[in-house]
Chain A
């Protein structure tokens, strides 16, 4: 297995020609190129700007939005966006780290309407709030459900 490249500067040097690296060079707070997959972390206030930048760079298709809960370490949540380019035949993973007490960031439904359902899912199962989302309600669980099941401090068999 080839060793990955870690750190913004190292990725910039290793992949100077990559369209996503070029587009996000100024916004990235961290980057890695591990197992041939590029991950770029941006600050939460920059997520809409970052999405617009990669969209401009040819990454036209939002495949997925999901989250990982790194409880109990902080920043607790990692919201992950997988963005695909039909013309470059490449993917980029954009990640945002969020603190547990204030898990909220901007919705990217203005950039990709498909984020609507994905963000509702992340909100429902992780309790991450998306500002500016047109309809931020629970999508899988009943509306009166207590807690967010995919959080690590939510027991596998549920409360009770």
Chain B
């Protein structure tokens, strides 16, 4: 076979190939042709059932419209048909990655309506469990976010640690995910004896593990190329669009409800609020990594400062179910139990709004009471819902692949978007 001449071996220019193909097929596309495509609702990077209607020019995003409503649960309507205590398990399901945070926000709102005081030990336990929830929620975020971008190892590592936290939840509440551990007026059960040791062991290993994730990602050139400078969201835009939580702090707004409007005894804890001025996906990553470290510190303080004994429920026999043992000996306890289970407890009329800092941002519960045993209206103000509005601002003019990185960075949970 004769040796081919040098010019034939050159790789042809892509433009030339395309031009040639167009000439042969008689295609002359207009210069500014855009295409509408659907990302989701079942795409793995949309974290649930989010459908994004994207208008793209080549690979550049021209416009983006989120389409939600695939998960419609009717949860707010259902709340209106239940007794106050029956709503607690429903709140677990609104955001399945932070059930404890939802429990807390709802219970605090109803307690505010009732004017109930919660014992110190219950408050400490609530804070401890909330911070563990934050860590496990951030671990799912980190794992799936890294996986969206193509780093599978981190996902496996994160789920290894998350499993430890779920074991703690299982030990304390009997459930791994839908814990329903909190009650209006306190907690449902006394934590088992090995609970404190279990948490302590976990807190000992966790800082090292967070370092492991950072070793894998923070200096990784592929990771940096995909997230640095991507998904810019200015502080003014973040506030105007209702963004809260880590995305807000990553835009340089120093605001954290735990520090600035403390609830459930958070004023007793010392912790830093991580803030970054980079406003991009990288900033959201760094802010959440630091938040996990701070959460570990809060958990340690909670363990150290917790009273060793004392009740875990408020002294309100008409609201809290009596202990099982008391029901066998005391007629009163039996009556209270019967009445709470069959008739609920009336809550004085009024309206309250209670927001807590969930892993995704400000989770607010607006509860309206008309004086009966069923809530007249329960509205959940969910952080992802507002953050989703900012998605278009973050993605416009960027590449299609950047949309995936940005969705991961806002840590979306579709359960809390649909009502």
Contacts of B355 in A (CB 8 A): 63
Does B278 touch A at the CB level, under 8 Å? no
Closest chain A residue to B243 by CB distance?
A114
Q: Are A117 and B419 in contact (CB under 8 A)?
A: no
Interface of B is mostly: mixed
Q: Are A117 and B386 in contact (CB under 8 A)?
A: yes
Does B226 touch A at the CB level, under 8 Å? no
Q: Nearest Cβ in chain A — how far from B415, in angstroms?
A: 13
Does B8 touch A at the CB level, under 8 Å? no
Q: Are B242 and A114 in contact (CB under 8 A)?
A: yes
Interface residue stretch chosen among A7-15, A31-39, A98-106 = A31-39
CA gap between A117 and B242 in the complex, in Å: 10
Contacts of A142 in B (CB 8 A): 69
Does A113 touch B at the CB level, under 8 Å? yes
The residue that B366 contacts in the complex, of A80, A89, A154, with Cβ under 8 A, is: A80
**Number of A-B residue pairs with CB-CB distance less than 8 Å in the complex they form:** 91
Which residues from 105 to 155 on chain A have a C-beta closer than 8 Å to any C-beta of chain B?
A: 112-114, 116-118, 121, 125, 138-142, 149-150, 154
CA gap between A123 and B173 in the complex, in Å: 39
0/1 string, A48-77, CB within 8 A of B gives 1: 000000000000111110101100000000
The residue that B388 contacts in the complex, of A80, A117, A150, with Cβ under 8 A, is: A117
Instruction: Output the residue of B77, B241, B362 with the most chain A CB within 10 A.
Output: B77
Does A44 touch B at the CB level, under 8 Å? no
Does B385 touch A at the CB level, under 8 Å? yes
Q: Are B72 and A140 in contact (CB under 8 A)?
A: yes
Which residues from 345 to 391 on chain B have a C-beta closer than 8 Å to any C-beta of chain A?
A: 350-353, 355, 362, 364, 366, 368, 376-377, 379, 381, 385-386, 388-389
Q: Are A1 and B115 in contact (CB under 8 A)?
A: yes
Which residues from 18 to 54 on chain A have a C-beta closer than 8 Å to any C-beta of chain B?
A: 34-35, 37, 39
The residue that A156 contacts in the complex, of B68, B77, B381, with Cβ under 8 A, is: B77
Q: Are A35 and B389 in contact (CB under 8 A)?
A: no
Contacts of A61 in B (CB 8 A): 239, 242
Q: Are A121 and B352 in contact (CB under 8 A)?
A: no
Q: Nearest Cβ in chain B — how far from A147, in angstroms?
A: 12
Q: Nearest Cβ in chain A — how far from B218, in angstroms?
A: 30
Interface range on chain B (Cβ under 8 Å from partner): 35 or more
Q: Are A86 and B253 in contact (CB under 8 A)?
A: yes
CA gap between A143 and B170 in the complex, in Å: 42
CA gap between A156 and B74 in the complex, in Å: 9
Count contacts on A: residues with CB < 8 A to the other chain.
37
Q: Are B242 and A82 in contact (CB under 8 A)?
A: no
Q: Are A140 and B353 in contact (CB under 8 A)?
A: no
CA gap between A117 and B389 in the complex, in Å: 7
CA gap between A117 and B182 in the complex, in Å: 31
Closest chain B residue to A138 by CB distance?
B69
Q: Are A35 and B241 in contact (CB under 8 A)?
A: no
Q: Are B379 and A64 in contact (CB under 8 A)?
A: yes
Q: Nearest Cβ in chain B — how far from A64, in angstroms?
A: 4
0/1 string, B250-287, CB within 8 A of A gives 1: 00010100001100000000000000000000000000
Q: Are B389 and A60 in contact (CB under 8 A)?
A: no
CA gap between A138 and B419 in the complex, in Å: 13
Known: A39-B351, A82-B366, A86-B253. A116 touches B389 (CB 8 A): yes
Does B401 touch A at the CB level, under 8 Å? no
Q: Are B242 and A35 in contact (CB under 8 A)?
A: no
Known: A82-B381, A125-B419. A66 touches B366 (CB 8 A): yes
Closest chain B residue to A152 by CB distance?
B80
In the assembled complex, 8 residue pairs joining A and B whose CB atoms fall closer than 8 Å, in A order, are A35-B113, A63-B362, A68-B377, A82-B364, A117-B385, A125-B76, A141-B69, A149-B74
Given contacts A35-B352, A114-B240, A125-B76, 9 further A-B contacts (CB under 8 A): A68-B376, A114-B242, A117-B385, A117-B388, A117-B389, A140-B69, A140-B72, A150-B77, A156-B81
